[in-house]
Amino acid sequence: MGFFNKIRENFARFMSGRYGTDQLNSALLWAAIIIMLVGSFSGLSLFSLLGDVVLIVVLVRMFSKDRYRRQNENQIYLQKTYKLRQGMTEWVNRMKNSKKYRYFTCPQCKKRLRVPRGVGSITITCKGCGHKFDKKA
């Protein structure tokens, strides 16, 4: 058996029963990278320290054998960031579609509405509350 196979096997054995990675961990990993980048650009040692701490949390969670607790943390993270992540997805979609669509907010219920670009002046009927208003798209 080759040297690398042996390492791979040992690593697999080491990782078995351990938690591994989840959404919270990847978010933390990104946070650590961003914090470290900010730290190295600004020269503030506090940031590098904070980045190290976050990275340690990522590793501890990854190698943890307490799956139940880690899953719980991940669930809490997903719940707490649900709105934010929704907002991010929506924002990314808007950026992607900004050439094709114009976005309006219903004056009555604040629901976001999408209209194809270049249709001229139109009356928009809100899908949420049925409110009608005029816009140029």
Which residues would be at the binding site for Zn ion (CB under 5 A)?
A: 106, 108-109, 111, 126, 128-129, 131
| Smallest gap from residue 53 Cβ to Zn ion (A) | 45
Beta strand ranges found along the chain (DSSP E): 101-105, 112-116, 121-125, 132-136
Task: CB nearer to Zn ion: give 54 or 106.
Answer: 106
Q: Based on CB atoms, which residue is closest to Zn ion, 36 or 124?
A: 124
For Zn ion, the closer of residues 23 and 105 by Cβ is 105
Residue 90 CB, shortest distance to Zn ion, in Å, is 17
Contact 117, 100 (CB under 8 A): yes
d(CA 81, CA 85): 6
Q: Which amino acid is at 89?
A: T
